[in-house]
Amino acid sequence: MKYKSILITGGAGFIGSHVTRLFVNKYPQYQIFNLDALTYAGNLENLSDIESAENYTFIKGDITDESFVNALFEKHKFSSVIHLAAESHVDRSIEDPLSFVKTNVIGTMILLNAFKSLWKDDFTDKLFYHISTDEVYGSLGADGLFTETTSYDPNSPYSASKASSDHFVRAYGETYNLPYVITNCSNNYGQNQFPEKLIPLFINNIINEKPLPVYGDGNYTRDWLYVVDHAIAIDLVFHKGKHEETYNIGGFNEWKNIDLVKLLCKQMDSKLNRVQGSSEKLITYVKDRPGHDLRYAIDASKINKELGWEPSVTFEEGLKITIDWYLDNSTWLKNVTSGEYQSYYNKQYS
């Protein structure tokens, strides 16, 4: 296998840290560079177990800083990019849409330009791998699944910014013959996720016996993907996926929000030795957010048939692993839920 110098953007974030760890440990012959701005959701504690690895380098920086990014590409000659850095929380995108355009659209463009300028017309053994979301497809009714050919129909500033970045990646492939692959994933959950997302938010609130804010009637449906399984899928697509193709990655695992929350409450009551039903009493229905998509569900049959990928755990098993991790890492949880996050939480859910 040829030597590779791989840039992973957003490698200190939730999904990025799992991908970075997998590549560093599995491929000692690769040099892995982790570029992360260390905003509120990026945390080097997520990677403390590999920080001394000989094939790992952390670089603090912003993908929207064009001169900085260009200098990095010129210095390290990255043969491949795995692009995970993004603003990803829908609620924040409603509050501050321009920051999502800056990071998700302009940041992606800067990376594409740097990659194109470095390798010009010789893209042999090169790859730009762009990680995206199922939210670009919009909302489903009661039936049907998102496939790789589903038309884009984004409904939030977040999903619109990701849809735009997807289009630019494909455009660079068509216009400049830049080798790329795109994956669109469903909702991720697991260890190290910042507690603005549903599962870690509610785990933290149950621990502290705070209200569990459920949007609307709680019947919004999502497909849930365990983050370790997602990292394994990214590894497969990177090494075996067809260039200029899109792969949907989903958990084959649909849950209505309210049913998920009740399952989480049940497991948390058992873990905390509380009376069954006590956590469920914390459920509080709050005003729905604008443009809330009813249902997402991914058809992941393409990656299953072509690359042999499938989830390794059931949702119940993955949820137990996730709960155990947060309970065993209370210091991490306290560190990331202080300061700026608390102000944001109070504004969003009060």
Given its phi and psi angles, is residue 294 left (phi above 0), alpha (psi -120 to 50 degrees) or beta? alpha
Give the C-alpha separation, 11 to 2, whole Å.
23
93, two tokens: 């995108």
Q: Which listed residue (36, 62, 87, 135) is catalytic?
A: 135
- 134 catalytically annotated: yes
Question: Which candidate, 7, 18, 29, places its Cα nearest to that of 225?
Answer: 18
Q: What are phi and psi of 68, to 5 degrees?
A: -65, -45
Q: Could you say which of 134, 196, 254, 293 is catalytic?
A: 134
Q: What tokens appear for 165 in the block?
A: 């970045």
Rounded to 10°, the helix 66-76/107-119 angle is: 30
Is 135 catalytic? The answer is: yes
Beta carbons of 249 and 298 less than 8 angstroms apart: yes
Active site residues: 134-135, 158
